[in-house]
């Protein structure tokens, strides 16, 4: 039992399970808006399972493909995929299990969800490849999480309305923007290993400016989402608070690079939760 608990903890660390807070709120935001309120316990359970299996798959693929790179980065050298706690064969088994689980969950959601399940897995599993040849990898990561609202509304309405696309584009720029800030920690390693990233190509100052532009676009697209979906006062407040939180995130990083973790995890985690709560209130 002790070994099983240790293995579960290692896999949780491998996929950074606690970071699920970034994608889960926006799946359920789309589901709440699509259903104009409560969407039922069945879709709640299936939504959670879909989000977790998709994220576990994407993160495990990333860790499996990046184990050679992680071994050369002082920041990641103690990860389970590098220090031997989880073997490559165990990672492949975990990847396969979550991929199969995601497709099965999609089957029980509806026909459209099942049809797009494999394409979604292909997209979210491709991030690791892009940073080997393109500095646009940050946007690919953004697209991966940006698929969450689309998956959410498909589960409820079996359609992809315009407001969901706007919400998803906002999520894409949000994630890409904070990933740029987070990747500043690896700027020297990326240059040394010849990896493609915006920080290694354009430098720290330009990266922070690009991140600010991305987050400005985030607010614009979320505002368009509220307008297109017919949101009322609480939805507009959600966008306003998000803008203030993103501004605070940039303030933290500009003031002290050592506060990148705080900006990345704390601010963005609370942003998604606050946004979700206000959208729920808006749809009661």
Domain assignment of residue 4, yes or no: no
Domain assignment of residue 12, yes or no: no
**Within 10 A of 87 (CB to CB), how many other CB atoms are there?**
11
pLDDT in tens, 75-111: 777 888 777 788 889 889 999 999 999 999 999 999 9
pLDDT in tens, 182-222: 888 878 887 877 777 888 888 888 999 999 999 999 999 99
Task: Give the tokens for residue 104.
Answer: 């099965």
Domain assignment of residue 148, yes or no: yes
Which residues lie closer than 8 Å to 122 by C-beta, 6 or more apart? none
- CATH classification of the domain holding 124: 1.10.357.140
Q: What is the dihedral of CA 138, 23, 120, 160, to 10 degrees?
A: -110
Domain assignment of residue 207, yes or no: yes
Q: What is the mean predicted confidence (pLDDT) over 34-49?
A: 93
Residue 56 · residue 87 · CB < 8 Å = no
**Does residue 242 have a pLDDT over 90?**
yes
pTM, entire model: 0.91
**Does residue 2 have a pLDDT over 60?**
no
Q: What is the mean predicted confidence (pLDDT) over 243-248?
A: 94
Q: What is the model's pLDDT at position 128?
A: 77
With cut-offs at 50, 70 and 90, classify the pLDDT of residue 16: low
User: Residue 115 and residue 65: Cα distance in Å, rounded?
Assistant: 26
Domain assignment of residue 10, yes or no: no
Domain assignment of residue 7, yes or no: no
Domain assignment of residue 1, yes or no: no
User: Residue 58 and residue 108: Cα distance in Å, rounded?
Assistant: 21
With cut-offs at 50, 70 and 90, classify the pLDDT of residue 263: low
Range of the domain at 82: 17-282
Number of domains in the chain: 1
Mean pLDDT of the chain: 87
Domain assignment of residue 9, yes or no: no
With cut-offs at 50, 70 and 90, classify the pLDDT of residue 264: low
Lowest-pLDDT range of 6-15, 87-96, 144-153, 168-177: 6-15
């Amino acid at each position: 039992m002790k070994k099983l608990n240790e293995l579960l903890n290692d896999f949780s660390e491998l996929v950074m399970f606690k970071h699920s807070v970034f994608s889960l709120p926006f799946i359920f935001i789309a589901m709440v808006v699509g259903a104009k309120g409560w969407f039922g316990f069945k879709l709640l359970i299936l939504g959670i399972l879909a989000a977790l299996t998709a994220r576990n798959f994407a993160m495990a693929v990333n860790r499996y493909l990046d184990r050679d790179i992680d071994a050369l980065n002082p920041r990641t050298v103690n990860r389970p995929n590098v220090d031997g706690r989880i073997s490559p064969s165990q990672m492949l088994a975990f990847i396969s299990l979550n991929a199969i689980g995601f497709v099965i969950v999609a089957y029980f959601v509806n026909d459209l969800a099942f049809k797009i399940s494999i394409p979604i897995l292909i997209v979210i599993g491709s991030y690791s490849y892009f940073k080997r040849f393109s500095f646009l990898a940050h946007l690919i990561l953004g697209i991966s999480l940006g698929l969450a609202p689309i998956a959410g509304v498909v589960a409820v309405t079996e359609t992809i309305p315009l407001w969901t696309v706007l919400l998803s584009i906002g999520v894409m720029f949000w994630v890409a923007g904070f990933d740029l800030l987070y990747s500043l920690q690896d700027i020297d390693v990326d240059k040394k290993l010849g990896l493609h990233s915006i920080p290694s190509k354009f430098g720290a100052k330009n990266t922070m400016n690009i991140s600010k532009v991305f987050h400005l676009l985030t607010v614009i697209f979320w505002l368009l989402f509220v307008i297109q979906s017919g949101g009322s006062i609480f939805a507009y407040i959600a966008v306003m608070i998000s803008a203030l939180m993103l501004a605070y995130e940039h303030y933290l990083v500009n003031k002290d690079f050592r506060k990148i973790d705080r900006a990345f995890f704390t601010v963005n985690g609370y942003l998604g939760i606050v946004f979700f709560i206000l959208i729920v209130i808006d749809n009661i």
